[in-house]
Amino acid sequence: MQLNYYKEPFEKFLTTYEEVGYVEILSYPVIYASGLPNVKVREVVMFDDGSLGYVTSLDKEYVEILLFSKDGLRIGSKIARTGNVLEIPVGEELLGTSITPLGFSIYEGYPAKRKADFRPIDIHALDISYREKITEPVETGVALVDLLIPLGKGQREMIVGDRKTGKTEFLLQTMLSQAKKGTICIYAAIGKKKIDIKKVENFFVRNGIIENSIIVATSSSDALGLVYLTPYSAMSIAEYFRDLGRDVLLILDDMSTHAKFYREISLLSKRFPGRSSYPGDIFYTHSRLLERAGNFKHPSGKPVSITCLPVAESIEGDISGYIQTNLMSITDGHVYFDKDLFANGRRPAINYFLSVTRVGRQTQSQIRWGVNRELNSFLTLLEKTQSFIHFGAELNEGIRSTLSMGEHVLAFFDQPMDKVISINMQIVLFGMIWLGFFKSETNERIQFITQLSIEKYRSDQKFKEKIDKLISDATDFNNLLGSLSIKKDEILSFYQL
């Protein structure tokens, strides 16, 4: 089906369907119209000023239409059917662009360059017969997540936390890591400030990944109908690239804002409010969207995935809110950003004790399993030790050793937002800290060594080959520790320590 309502005039549709509707009740962004007896739910309609609307429900007297513009209509405005469901133009030409949910450039205001390929915005998710088990890991480049809260390709992982706790920075790091591996990265900015959208675009340009990325954006000043469509349009674009055999990383930032805008639309539509005034179908609305992500079969024989990271905002650290718990039950886990950790200077401020990954661990190798097990055990011990010394207990040698190692591990986990660490480098670097290679170093030196490792792994081919060989030759984490002990002097010589 070709999307013709972008280029055909209003009179063409009046002639085609011989139905003339009129605006009867106007309550932005919802209007009620009469005179369209054969219109269908989810059909696009056009108004006499050229603006578009979307049929959301029908009753005996009126047709309820969601508007995609903020003004210009009046009581009595004419309406024409288009005969099409709501679609978005898709194609490889979208790579490197920033568009609205209807496919227009957010700068020029006209449709982005594209082929005649279109995707419905709101469709049913593929059933289980099209899906594959999640087996491939997603490297975020953030050591704390990759080693403690691993993610898999096709996983839906909620990112939750208070405002200004580093959620967007983590998402940008993840996109940077994945885009460099050839994954298509789609960032859906839902009702964000225009300056925040521009910052994301500048990040893509600065790091050279803009040609592998797409931004689908609406600002808080856009029409409510457009803001509501944003995640659906982004998901449809992701499905287009999935069908081409390309893995996709989809960021939905954020679903709490989406729920608020949908609540406003529902209340203006006179729908019965439920808990916290949200509409009764808010769970269905979000689950219908997020179920479209996953790991899928492909004719090429190689599974292809849409990895989805929806964001939810908490208030004062409360993750038991209505929308947050809804998303928890839809997704495969969550990463929790703690405002107290952020205030204490931790970057990223992730509380790993309150974070969950339900399917990511099944993608781990034996070495990563060993690292995860050792880290979980040690961090639990560190938490208990820190609680214990609050009672004024004397610090014996064992407690001092645990606290010192804890400081070094936490210093290793701190990393700048524009830096990503390869998983092999993460494992080897943690093994070196675990064996006490840098026992006499300060926390600042540990962070310097971590940054030096990132740069040497990226620029020094000989060093990279040495690290990769250590990982490929090891059968498990203990075996890797043995190899590191034997080659300690050789590895440290790279650092000139």
pLDDT attached to residue 391: 65
The DSSP secondary-structure symbol of 137 reads E
Residue 229 contacts residue 29 (beta carbons within 8 Å): no
Does 89-363 match 10-85 at the fold level?
no
Dist. CA 440–CA 442, nearest whole Å: 7
H helices, E strands: number in the chain: 16, 19
Among 139, 148, 10, 135, CA closest to 79: 10
The single-letter code of the amino acid at 423 is I
Q: At what angle do helices 477-486 and 366-389 cross, to 10 degrees?
A: 90
Q: Is 89 helix (H, G, I), strand (E, B) or coil?
A: strand
Q: Which residues are catalytic?
A: 358
Beta bridge partners of residue 156, listed in sequence order: 308
Among 140, 191, 148, 160, CA closest to 339: 160
Sign of CA dihedral 284, 286, 289, 290: negative
CA atoms within 13 A on the CB side of 34: 6
Residue 170 contacts residue 142 (beta carbons within 8 Å): yes
Residue showing tokens 């300690």? 488
pLDDT attached to residue 230: 97
Task: Provide the pairing of β-strand 21-27 with 30-34.
Answer: antiparallel
pLDDT attached to residue 490: 85
pLDDT attached to residue 1: 34
**Residue 391 burial (C-beta neighbours within 10 Å; 0-12, 13-18, 19+):** exposed
Instruction: Please spell the DSSP secondary structure of 133-164, one letter per residue.
Output: ---SEE--S-HHHHHHS-EETT-B-EEEE-TT
Instruction: Supply 67's token pair.
Output: 């508007």
CATH number of 10-85: 2.40.30.20
pLDDT attached to residue 327: 97
Q: Where are the domains of the chain?
A: 10-85, 89-363, 367-495
Dist. CA 228–CA 223, nearest whole Å: 9
pLDDT attached to residue 392: 61
CATH number of 367-495: 1.20.150
Which CATH superfamily is 89-363 part of? P-loop containing nucleotide triphosphate hydrolases (3.40.50.300)
The DSSP secondary-structure symbol of 373 reads H
pLDDT attached to residue 429: 94
Dist. CA 458–CA 416, nearest whole Å: 16
Dist. CA 232–CA 88, nearest whole Å: 10
Helix (H) or strand (E) holding 454: helix 443-459
**pLDDT tens digits along 156-197:** 999 999 999 999 999 999 999 999 999 999 999 999 999 999
Between vectors from CA 454 to CA 450 and to CA 456, what angle results, nearest 5°? 110
Residue numbers in the chain where pLDDT is lower than 70: 1-7, 108-116, 390-393, 496-497
